[in-house]
Structures are given as structure tokens and as C-alpha cells.
Structure 1
Amino acid sequence: MSDFIYEKDADGIVTVTMDMAGQSANTMNARFVPGMQDVIAKLRAEEDLRGVIFASAKKTFFAGGDLNDILATTRADAETFAYIEANKAVYRDLERLPVPVVAAINGAALGGGYELCLACNHRIVADDPKAVVGLPEVTLGLLPGAGGVVRLTALLGLEKALPYLLEGKQAKPQQALSEGMVDAVVAKDELIPAARAWIKANPDSQTQPWDRKGFRYPNGDALHPRIRQTIQVSSAMLFQKTRGLLPAPEKILDIAVNSMRMSFDAALRMESRGIVALMTTPECKAAITTFFFGMQAIRSGKVRPEGPQWKASKAAVLGAGMMGSGIAYAHARAGLTTALKDMEMARAEKGKAYSQALCDKAIKRGRMSEEARAALLDKITPVTDDAACKGADIIIEAVFEDIDLKETVIPETWKQLADDGIYGSNTSTLPISILAESCPDPTRFIGLHFFSPVDKMKVVEIIMGEKTSAETLRRAYDYVQQIGYMPIVVNDSRGFFTSRVFGTFMDEGMQLLQDGMSPAAIERAAWKAGMPVGPLAVSDEVSQVLSQKVRRTHEALDARLGVESDFGHHNTASARVVDAMIAQGRGGRHYGGGFYDYASDGTKSLWPGLSQFAQGNAEVPMEDAIDRLLYRQAIETLRCLDEGVLNTEVEANLGGIFAIGFPAHTGGAIQFIRGIGVDAFNARAKALAERYGERFAIPDAAFDRLRDSAAEAA
């Protein structure tokens, strides 16, 4: 019982303080169940026990299960089921004690931690915004398997419970109180006294509501007309949101609904079977690997160069177009003073107005106050003079994607940089090493590729040039985190990582168009694959004009350097279709129409003229179309990793999801390959290459290295 501090006072109330040895947080580790069994046995042996309080010696209350154990689980067998049942049995034993039990929640109680609270008769939480409660297991491809689905449904009723179960929502103290997830909110130092006082005032409150005779579910059971309607609507909305690609939400909804149709203990066993089934799914492994351990690696700085933390206090953004305006807003929202420069004051002021419009929208939605808007806008100063940027810790060049323009702007504005400041270019495809030739000190020059719209796309691709110093990389990494964005570090190449991969997605949509697949079926294949937008629709948003300009820019760069790069080498359909579309006045949404026609009421429909691009009338199976869209991106990501453009699988996976929209349920492109199996993926890629072209071919050596890296990690 070294992990549990057991103290009994003169009133017969026992306080059990959880303090897992050698850990910063309390978790369901290998010692948890035996320790809890010992605690419960000792409580049962007490002769004059009047009540029990569960508290924590850590900053958080309880963090839940050990995800490493879940990752290591490969079989949904009787042994795994027994393990889950043992974990939740201690909670059932706890709520069957003959005295009232109180959870004194001093900090975050999530997952298994909140399930422990649910097994208590009364829940008191500290008045601290960090003391959140919730069941986020669904975000990890799991379900709350220690009674969370069954108990929360019984406590709140189906309607109120579903958002917390299906979305993994977390509630701060006051919201948790109003929702009925906790029973009281007190000051942190009043937690234990308040728990003792409640036990003394409620000596006969030891029976849980669901164990009382005549228990009724709040707002009705599964047969109630209103609840039956909720079930129908929830099922439809869930499929619309997940597209049937995420097994966890479907399983949770099924268990929550059916738990109301059977005995409580039978429902708990059904819940155990549900989590066992989910633990071995590719979706679960992907979510834990990418969204828990991957995000943890990024946030903790595991891929950040070592050195002291750096913080910018003054910034300048050059170019008040859509990207520059968005970057200025991101700065201001993080409290970073920014000069927003353009050639004309009207354009610079229009750039600031972009931030005001975003603030106004936030105020309308109740997410921002007038004072907060004024403070944010005060951080942005529209300017036209370079001197106004003097002393900036960081300058972000965000002018048009034109190498000649950038090579003019960079040296002109460099002199305004602070002596130890860094200079970033918001280029999406142009080599940083070449742009660095135009600045006085290439060691302080780096690529900082934001994504549009900047206020929603919270990721930045940091591109290392050949001469960029580790110090500059560290400062750029800190800057990106300072403004609340996710840094993804890559090495210099044509198109870097994200633009290369994104280009393959758009191209494969056009390849399918050439093969004779109907445009509607192409967009449907992308939907079924889990992409946020179809390749034809997203091509219109990017615009054919920009796609053509990027290609021609790199052709001109090849001519200037006397080389023939392989950037976009396989994107043959894009070159043919885009040029023809532009020639017919179909430049994209911004230009009045492209693959789609756009009506004045905001609706859109596929342009009938797309049939002209079909070079054949091939019957492309939907399964092939889905695989082609995903495999093209995964293969290009693997190429980037194999070539050293990408440094880590973590950044490959998270960058692909958050910057490009690679389906989140896969855990990212490299995790997608691992989820299928390296050899199985390779075999399928070869089959696609034989049938559809060499763009799906990749050397076996790349797969060998991927296989070897997995063995090393193990």
C-alpha cells in the first residue's frame, strides 16, 4: 500500500491519499489494482468506519490508464477481458462499501480518474480551472472501460452524457457542477474539510442511485419517446461526423443505449467487452501513438534543439495579404507586438481589419470581450516604412510566392532585424537555401510556412536551410510555440514536405478524372477515405492559377540553376488539366469557377465540362480510388522521410494530419503504413504501380528502413 496513504481520524473517517511512487501523476499502473484491493480490504475490516475520502498528493487527481499497456495489447482474448474486469471490479467494490465515499478532486480527473470519482457517492472539486473532469477515451480510439459509459449515462441521463462520451469533452469546475458531474465546488484548501462535513451530514448516503430500488434514468430510459428520438438523431449525426471510420464512438453509443436495457452489472460486463474489442484496432493504436505520445513529444520539446527558452517581444510581418494578416492576428492573440507592413497604408490597414473581423465574430459568439478585442488590436500596427520594423526580434516575410520579389524584399528589410533576431520566410515551396543567399547572415534565416487560414490551421512547417544554425532553429521552434502553434521541423527541398504531399493528393484526383472516373465519384472516394475535402474541390480553393504559377516558378528556377529537379515529377495530370482549365477561364473559385460552378447563393455543382479530360473509360473500383488517394500521399510522405526531408515519424504523422488533412483516424501517413503493415502496404503499392503507374513505386529499401526503425523502437 505504499502508493496509498491511509489515515483514519477520531470521527472514524478514513482519508486515502493516492501518491503513486516514482510518478508525477497517479495512474492505473500494475500496482493500482492490488493496492486498491488492499485498501478496500482494510476499509471492510474497520469496525467503526463512518466514511471514506479519496484524495491525491499529486498536482492532478488521477490520470487514468497506462497507455503503454494498451499499445502493447495485441489480442482481444479472455486474458485481456479479465484484466479489464479486475480494474473495474475495485470500483464496484468501492461503491458497495457500507459507508459514504467522497472524491476530493484537487486537480484534473480524467478517464479512469473520473471513473473513480463516479464510483464515489459524492464528488467535490477544487475551484481551479485546471481541475477538469471528463472521459476523453474516445479521442484515443477507446471507450471509458472502468464503468464510465454505464455510470455517466445513469448519473446524467443519455442526452447529457453523450457529448462527454462521444466527444471526450472536459468540464471545468463550475460547468461540471451545473451539469451534475460533480456535487460541490470549494476552495482547494477546503476539499478535505468539506468532504468530512458532508460525510457527517449524510451518514446514510452510501448507496449509489443506480443500486437503489426503483432507480429511474434522468429524463427517461431507452423506451421513452424523447430518448428514442435522441438515439435515432445521435446515430445519424455520428455517422455524418465519423463516416463510419471510427469504431469507438459507435461502440460507445451502442453501450450507452443498451446499458439502460439491462442490469447494471450486465452493462458493466458489456462495457468491458467493448473496450477489449477496441484496444486492438488500428484506429486505437493510431490515436494513442499520434495524438497522445506524438503530441506529447512535440509539446515537451523532444524534437527541439537543446538550449535556453527564447521569447520574441517585437515582430514584423511583411505583406498584409491573407497570409500576412493571419500571421499578425496569431501574433496579437498571443500578445506579441507586431508591425504589419505593406507598400500602401490602405492595404496595411485592411490587413489589420482582418483581425478586427475575427474579433467581432468571436464577440458575437460570446468567446471574446470588448476589452480583449481592444487589447488584441492594439498589438498590431499597420505601417508602410521599413524603419517601423526596427529592432524586431523576428521578421516574417509573407509577400507573394515570387522568388525575384522575395530576393528583393529580404535584403532590404534585413537591416531592421535586432542584432540577435531571426528572419523567417513564409514560402510554401521555394528552397530556403536559395533565398538565404540574398540575406547578409544565412545562419539566422529560416523557413516558417504557415497554412491558410492561419487562425484555424494551428501548425507551422519550419524549414532548415543549408546554413541555418541550430540556434536559429531553436528560436524559431520557441516562437512557433509562443504563439500557440505546432512546430513541424523539416529540411530544405523543393516543396519541402507539406506542399509535396498535398500536390500528390490534388494530382491523383485529376489522374482519376483522366482515367474516366466520374467527378462525383472521385469526390465521394475522398470522403469515404476520410479526407476533409475532395481533391477537385480543394484544387479550386487553392486555385489552378496558383498551381500553374508554382510549377512555372520551379521550371524557371531549374533553368536558372541549370538543373532539372524532380519536384512534381509525377504530377503529370495536374500539368495537363490545370493548363487546359485556365485556358478555358476556369482558374478556381476565386476566379469565378473551376472544377465547380459557384452560384450566388453559396451553393456549388461540378462543372459539366470536366468530361473532356477523360482519356479513357476505365472502370476504377471505389476501393482502388480510395487507396490511390491515400497511398499517393503516404508514399510521398515516406519518400520525404527516406530522403531526410522529414526528421521523425511523429512530425510526419502530425504534420500530415494538421497541415494537409490526412485522415486523422489513420494516425497520419506513416502510422497508416504501419497500421496496414509495412509488407502489406508495400505489396499493395506495387499492385497499384503495375496497374496505374510508377508514381506508386518506391524502392524496397525505404520499407526496409521503416521496418528496421520499428524494430529499434521496440
Structure 2
Amino acid sequence: MSIDRYKAFSVTTDVRGVTTVSLDVPDRPLNILDRDVMSELEAIVHDLEHRGDCELVVFRSGKESGFLAGADVKAIVNIESPAQATQLIDCGQQLFDRINWLPMPTLAVIHGPCLGGGLEWSLACDYRIARDNSSTKIGLPEIKLGLIPGWGGTQRLPRVVGLTNALSLILQGKHLSASEAAKIGLIDRAIDPENWESEVADFIVQILDEDVVSQSGRKQPIIQKWLEATALGRSLIFAAAEKKIRSKASHYPALKSAIKAVRCSYGLRPDGFMAERNEFVDLLATPTCRNLLQLFFARESARDLRTWASPTTAVHEEPIRKIGVIGAGAMGAGIGQLAACNGYDVVIKEIDEDAAQAGRKRVVSLVDKLAKHRNLSERDREAILDRVHVTTSDEPMNGADLVVEAVVERAEVKDAVFAGLDKLLAANAILASNTSSLSIARMADATTRPDKVAGLHFFNPVHKMELVEVVRAKQTSDATIARLVSFVRALGKTPIVTADAPGFLVNRVLFPYLGEAVMMVAEGHDVHRIDKQVRAFGMPMGPLELLDQVGIDVAYHVAKSLDSVLVGVGPVVDQLKLMVNDEMLGKKTECGFYQYKKGRRDGTADFPRTNPQSGHRTVQRVREDHFVVDGLTSEQRRLIYPMLAESIRCKQANIVDQAWAIDLAMVLGTGFAPHRGGPLHVVDTIGEHIVHANLGYLQSIYGDRFASPLLLEEMAEQHQLFFTDTESEDNDHAVTKG
């Protein structure tokens, strides 16, 4: 056996002529494609092109963490010119094309992430096999960065899985499991982890014996194949895709670019690759791409323990292994299920057996949905359920390293829960509350361990929402924060550490926007138009739709808790109280701002007003020519500006220290238009002096709830921004322009 070694690769050839090219990028937890890796791969391919003793090339990873996470995003964001971008794309396209045309068969052996450039490399191979477990994720996620695949993904994928499947994968940036990828012919075989190495070896023998046929293009239904084989059929598929993206295309130009590049894959081959390259290069210069790239780095920073605490602060603490949850309602069951799915032993305590039984049903339902979504085996499903114990007694809580309280949002109830847990649990156990707005310091005062009390604010639904607010009270220790941040990361979530203030960050910033929408409806504004205008801004749903989803009763409790920190909350509280009294709680009672029938929206509801005459008067007209142009409509400005102002106040008050973290939290926690980068990025884009001026006019019309924050006034006077043009993720303070 011959062995060639590189910095990132090892290349071995056995007596059968099977050359294994194994990638293990040094000093990286995951393999990525950077300039050095690509240079070494080019040298290896050059050698393979001139080898006469090679019968098969096997590309695989030397890391247990996975095959390849994709291209180095930092290299992409540091591109300084179209010429440099063109060179980068040409390099990758040409290299993978050379792999595609190697004179011997090629096989990609995939486990863990195989994303972006990793999948494009695999698509250039003749065969692909993958390990069928939960860590394997296969896809082209570039659209989530405002880009398209640039190294042949838009050209090769349609040939492998068909046009319809390719458009779905590229336009949604979806990740597939090995079994899902096998169903559409993206890989040739999904292999059970227990038989991984033996079946990889068997597959290699089958290739050498010419006893295997690639599944590329073979898994499509007959009708789909027929449709995609004709120009007319493809034009119908492209038309349907264009219709589907129409509402988002103006905010996310990569959607149109992806369709254009894929369409060109059915013409002359060089033209298709040129179209892919040109679209990629053009997209790099768009604000959407820049904002999404900065959000990518913000997420990376948030998931780095060093951002929030020194890793050494928790080194002497016992790791969190056993989790307790108080309350088996929607949030408690969701937290318990999530922890169990990530390998933790979980005890959920309820007040009585009826509530416990209801909680067990919730957990089983959540696990069943997960098992169906991930195609888990019955054994894996049972293993998750075996890790969850729902009880009515205290004793099973013994030995818990962390207990999360998820009971009713009443301070006195939470105080009693914390006092009881303090007596029950070992001295090093952490007590955390899932409260969305109540004081963590008050709960800590009910214990003898205030340094080990914090907030863990999950968002509903727990299994879908990526953000978790880790709330630090005055006495919460660094070690506690470090342990909780590590725990949140282990759950696959993104932590943002906030100060202990009413509403913390997300609810505090979100509520002025929701409250303004309530006020507008009370004044007689049309419910549909309010939501439509906000969706046009780029939000996933309007404020009134969101209130109905969250629950009017929940919003009412949050509003009351924010009365001490927000101006003008009183009238909103009064309006929401009327709705709660009338049992207009939103979707769960089939009546809120909208009427619902079998879970579907069915017209608007008759909104009760504190002033019954308000809905009959003419909506106040605002002079648009008195505003400085900011690209917003009058409705958008009135709804979005309160969020912008409150985000600035949170930065001013150090609710969260970093500006990028405020933006990331609002995007992950509320769906704030990702293409705009977050509320503080919007302020920078519009201009601090323009936002300040327009808030002044809004204040003259609607009152002091539109007053400019002091920090904004200072920034407007001094011509400052929150972010530099490139490295927002490292920027903690406003920076001077120019």
C-alpha cells in the first residue's frame, strides 16, 4: 500500500488499485474548503489524472464530525472585487469538473454534514453513499446566505435528482437525511451505522466488479421524468417555481438567480456554468447577501462559549446530565422532549396525576412527530421516551443538575416553586425559570443559592424556535452562565445572554410593535392591511396574526409586566384586557383579531374597543411630506419604528452588550426580516439622523412613546453607525462613519 500525505489530506492506494483520499483539515472541528484545501485537492486530482494503476477513487473524511461543512464563509465575505469572486468560482468549478472527468470511477463516502461545496464535490463523483443516522445532513444551503451554489450545484443536481427535486432543494436550502437523499436518488445507498464500514467495503467491491448502477436520475416517477424531458414540461415547472417565490423575490434576489442558473443547465454546458458564476458574483454585492452573511457570523459568535463567559469558569463544575422540569404544559413538555432527544435524562413534575397524564401525552406526541420527521426507528423512539419520566412527586428530582421551572406566569407561584426546589436539590444544582418577562432576581431571593439562579427563556414551539435567552440576574455567577450556555448549545439552540429586566430583550423590543398594531386597530385601521404591510416589509407574519398565534392572554400578561419600562402601554393593556374578558384569546379559542374555523383563518373578528366610537371615526391622516424619505410606507413606519427605538434603548441600557446580538435575537426569536439584518442594521441602512428626525414627527402626532432614545440622538449628531461595513459580529460599540 502506498501512502501520500498532505497537510489536510492523506492519500492511500491498496493492492486492488483503490485510492482513498481522506480529508482532515487541521485545527478545525469540521472540514471546510478554504484556499489551502482546494490547492492540495487540485494537486491530488492532477496526480490522479496521470495515474495508470488506479481502479477507483474514494473520497471521504478523516474526521468523525463529518464529511464537509462547505466552503469557508470568511473567505467569501472577505472577497473585495467581482474579479476576485469570479476567480474563486472558476477555481471551484474547474476543479470539480476535473473530478467529474477522472478516467476511473469515483465514490463519495458521506457521514455527518455534507453541505454546500461538500455536496457539489460529491455531485461530481460517479457514486455517493451515506451513513444513515441523525448527524448526516446533505444539502445546498447557500440560499440562506443570499447566494446560490457556485461550484456546479445548480448544473449537476437537476441531472441527479430531477428538476423538481433540484429546485426544491436549492430554493429552500433544505438539509436531507441519508434515507431522504436515497429516496430521490441523490445518494446510491443509505447505510445503517451498525454496518457502516462493512457495507462501505462491500459497495467498493461492487464498483470494482461493475456490479452496481448509480441511482442518479433513476428515482423519479415516470410522469415526472416525462414532464422534465420536454421543453414544454420544464417551462411549466419553472413557471410554477417562479410563482411560488414571487412574494419573496424582491427581498431575496438569490431565488430568481437560482432559477435562472438551473434553467441554463438545460442549454449548452459552458453557458450553464457561466450563468451560475455570473449570478453568484452579482449576488455577493447585494445588501441581502451582506446582511445574511453577517447574521451567519453573529450566530457563530452566539454559539461560542467565549462570547458569554470564560470556558474555564465552568471547568470545575459537574457537567449537566440530569434535567428536571416543573410543569408539563406546552413549554415544559417541549423542553423535556428536546432535552431527552439530545441524550439527557429528564424528570418532569406536575401538580396532580391528571396533569401528569396530560403531560405524558404531550411528550409522546412530540416524540412521535420527531420520529416521523427524522425517520427514527422504533428502538430510537423508545429510547427517547425511556429518558423522560413524568411524575407528581419530588423524589425523582433528586440528583438533577438543572431544573427548569415552566409553570403559570405568576410571580408568587414561581417564588414558591423556587423555595421548594432550593431545599430539595443538591447545592451545585442550577435553578432556571422559563419565564418570558418576570424578575429572575426575585425568584433568586426565594433561595439560598442566588448565584445558581438564572433564566432560560425558550420560545414556543420549543423544538422549532432556535433562540434561547439566558437571563443573568445580578447575583448569577459566571460559572452558572457558562454551564447554561453550554447546555443550550448541546440542545442545538442558539443562546443570547441578556440582563434581568422586564421582558428581557425579545419581548421588550417586540411589544411596542405589537402594541402599536393594537392601537391602530382600536383607531379603526384595517386588520388585513396592517398585517399585509408588515409582510411586505419582510416579516413572516403580521403583528395581529402573531398575537393570535401567541395568545391574547399571554400578550396581556407580558404587557402588564412591561408597564414599568415602556411608555404608553396602559391603553394597550386595556384593549387586550377587553379581549381576554370576552375570551377572544386568538387561535386557541378560534377568535382574536381574526376568526378561525378548524384552525384556518376565516375573516376578521369584531374587535371590542375601550372607546366604542373610535372605530367609526376617520383614521388620522399623516402628512407624508413631513417625513424624511426612508423607503417605508406610513403603516410600516408607525409599526417598525417602535421596534427600532426599543432596540436602541436595549443597547443603551446594556440589556445585551453587543449590537449584533440584539439583531440576531430579533431575527431568531421573532422572524424579524432576515434580509434586512435586524433592527439595528435597519437603523444603519436608513440612517440614524433620518430615524431620529422621523421619530420626532411621529412623537408630535402620537405622543412620547415615539420619543427618540438618547443614544440615537447622540449618534445622529455625531454621524455614527452601529456596525462597520464588514465585521458587525465583532463590533460592541457604535463606530464613526468614514
TM-score, with structure 1 as normaliser: 0.83
For residue 708 of structure 2, what is the aligned residue in structure 1? 697
Q: Percent identity?
A: 25
For residue 214 of structure 1, what is the aligned residue in structure 2? none
Query: Which whole-Å CA distance do the structure 2 matches of 1:487 and 1:530 have between them?
Result: 24
Query: Which whole-Å CA distance do the structure 2 matches of 1:591 and 1:656 have between them?
Result: 28
Post-superposition offset of 1:138: 1.9
Q: What secondary structure is seen at the aligned counterpart in 1 of 2:687? A: helix
For residue 346 of structure 1, what is the aligned residue in structure 2? 354
Of 589, 593, 596, the match for 2:591: 593
Between 400-409 and 602-611, the greater mean CA deviation after superposition: 602-611
Residue 672 of structure 2 is aligned to residue 662 of structure 1: yes
Unpaired runs of 5+ residues, structure 2, are 1-5, 218-223, 625-631, 732-738
- Cα distance change, pair 12–670 in 1 and its aligned pair in 2 (3 A): same
Residue 469 of structure 2 is aligned to residue 464 of structure 1: no
Indicate the RMSD between aligned Cα atoms, in angstroms: 4.0
Structure 1 residues 296-445: aligned runs within 5 Å: 296-305=300-309, 306=311, 307-308=314-315, 310-359=318-367, 361=369, 367=375, 375-386=383-394, 389-445=397-453
Post-superposition offset of 1:644: 1.4
**What are the Cα deviations for residues 219-244 of structure 1, in whole angstroms up to 9, with x where unaligned?**
4557444433322322223336x464
Task: Give, as a single letter, the amino acid of the residue that structure 2 aligns with 1:603.
Answer: R
Query: Which whole-Å CA distance do the structure 1 matches of 2:131 and 2:560 have between them?
Result: 60
Residue 268 of structure 2 is aligned to residue 267 of structure 1: no
Whether contact under 8 Å (1:514, 1:616) holds in the other structure is: no
Of 596, 605, 612, the match for 2:614: 612
Structure 1 residues 423-502: aligned runs within 5 Å: 423-502=431-510
- Cα distance change, pair 8–389 in 1 and its aligned pair in 2 (3 A): closer
Structure 1 residues 118-129: aligned runs within 5 Å: 118-123=123-128
Query: Which whole-Å CA distance do the structure 2 matches of 1:16 and 1:413 have between them?
Result: 55
For residue 213 of structure 1, what is the aligned residue in structure 2? none
Task: Give, as a single letter, the amino acid of the residue that structure 1 aligns with 2:71.
Answer: G
Task: Give, as a single letter, the amino acid of the residue that structure 2 aligns with 1:605.
Answer: G
- Cα distance change, pair 608–128 in 1 and its aligned pair in 2 (3 A): closer
For residue 242 of structure 2, what is the aligned residue in structure 1? 235
Task: Give, as a single letter, the amino acid of the residue that structure 1 aligns with 2:262.
Answer: A
Post-superposition offset of 1:588: 4.4
Whether contact under 8 Å (1:158, 1:257) holds in the other structure is: no
Structure 1 residues 621-660: aligned runs within 5 Å: 623-660=633-670
Between 383-392 and 163-172, the greater mean CA deviation after superposition: 383-392
Between 341-350 and 270-279, the greater mean CA deviation after superposition: 341-350
For residue 706 of structure 1, what is the aligned residue in structure 2? 722
- Cα distance change, pair 30–393 in 1 and its aligned pair in 2 (3 A): closer
Residue 536 of structure 2 is aligned to residue 538 of structure 1: no
Between 17-26 and 492-501, the greater mean CA deviation after superposition: 17-26
Of 64, 72, 76, the match for 1:66: 72
**What are the Cα deviations for residues 512-558 of structure 1, in whole angstroms up to 9, with x where unaligned?**
44666422110101222232332122223444444444444566xxx
**What are the Cα deviations for residues 148-188 of structure 1, in whole angstroms up to 9, with x where unaligned?**
10111233321232232222334444544443334467854
- Cα distance change, pair 381–80 in 1 and its aligned pair in 2 (3 A): closer
Post-superposition offset of 1:277: 1.3
Q: What secondary structure is seen at the aligned counterpart in 1 of 2:620? A: coil
Query: Which whole-Å CA distance do the structure 1 matches of 2:562 and 2:36 have between them?
Result: 59
Structure 1 residues 149-188: aligned runs within 5 Å: 149-183=154-188, 187-188=196-197
Query: Which whole-Å CA distance do the structure 1 matches of 2:186 and 2:729 have between them?
Result: 44
Task: Give, as a single letter, the amino acid of the residue that structure 2 aligns with 1:617.
Answer: Q
- Cα distance change, pair 673–65 in 1 and its aligned pair in 2 (3 A): farther
Whether contact under 8 Å (1:311, 1:482) holds in the other structure is: no
For residue 734 of structure 2, what is the aligned residue in structure 1? none
For residue 91 of structure 2, what is the aligned residue in structure 1? 86
Query: Which whole-Å CA distance do the structure 1 matches of 2:130 and 2:155 have between them?
Result: 22
**What are the Cα deviations for residues 28-67 of structure 1, in whole angstroms up to 9, with x where unaligned?**
4334555555555555566x46666263563244443221
Post-superposition offset of 1:437: 1.9
Post-superposition offset of 1:421: 0.9
Between 353-362 and 467-476, the greater mean CA deviation after superposition: 353-362
Structure 1 residues 30-69: aligned runs within 5 Å: 30-31=35-36, 34-35=39-40, 38-39=43-44, 42=47, 48=52, 53=57, 55-56=59-60, 58-59=62-63, 60-69=66-75
The aligned length equals 685
- Cα distance change, pair 64–427 in 1 and its aligned pair in 2 (3 A): closer
Whether contact under 8 Å (1:334, 1:482) holds in the other structure is: yes
**What are the Cα deviations for residues 262-305 of structure 1, in whole angstroms up to 9, with x where unaligned?**
201111101101111112222222333323x3333344433353
Query: Which whole-Å CA distance do the structure 1 matches of 2:621 and 2:527 have between them?
Result: 13
Task: Give, as a single letter, the amino acid of the residue that structure 2 aligns with 1:92.
Answer: D
Whether contact under 8 Å (1:516, 1:619) holds in the other structure is: no
Between 78-87 and 578-587, the greater mean CA deviation after superposition: 578-587
**What are the Cα deviations for residues 4-45 of structure 1, in whole angstroms up to 9, with x where unaligned?**
666778888766555656656554433455555555555556
Post-superposition offset of 1:636: 2.1
Whether contact under 8 Å (2:513, 2:543) holds in the other structure is: yes
Whether contact under 8 Å (1:507, 1:572) holds in the other structure is: no
Post-superposition offset of 1:463: 0.9
Residue 689 of structure 2 is aligned to residue 683 of structure 1: yes
Whether contact under 8 Å (1:64, 1:113) holds in the other structure is: yes
Post-superposition offset of 1:495: 1.6
Between 189-198 and 631-640, the greater mean CA deviation after superposition: 189-198
- Cα distance change, pair 145–298 in 1 and its aligned pair in 2 (3 A): same
Whether contact under 8 Å (1:529, 1:630) holds in the other structure is: no
**What are the Cα deviations for residues 200-220 of structure 1, in whole angstroms up to 9, with x where unaligned?**
859xx9xx99xxxxxxx9645
Post-superposition offset of 1:146: 1.1
Query: Which whole-Å CA distance do the structure 1 matches of 2:419 and 2:13 have between them?
Result: 73
Whether contact under 8 Å (1:398, 1:427) holds in the other structure is: yes
Structure 1 residues 17-32: aligned runs within 5 Å: 27-31=32-36
Query: Which whole-Å CA distance do the structure 1 matches of 2:202 and 2:391 have between them?
Result: 58
Post-superposition offset of 1:130: 5.1
For residue 257 of structure 2, what is the aligned residue in structure 1? 251
Which gives a bigger RCO, structure 1 or 2 (Cα 8 Å, sep 6+)?
1
Unpaired runs of 5+ residues, structure 1, are 210-216, 556-564
- Cα distance change, pair 85–429 in 1 and its aligned pair in 2 (3 A): same
- Cα distance change, pair 118–503 in 1 and its aligned pair in 2 (3 A): same
Of 133, 136, 143, the match for 2:141: 136
Between 328-337 and 163-172, the greater mean CA deviation after superposition: 328-337
- Cα distance change, pair 24–199 in 1 and its aligned pair in 2 (3 A): farther
Of 292, 299, 312, the match for 1:295: 299
- Cα distance change, pair 279–712 in 1 and its aligned pair in 2 (3 A): closer
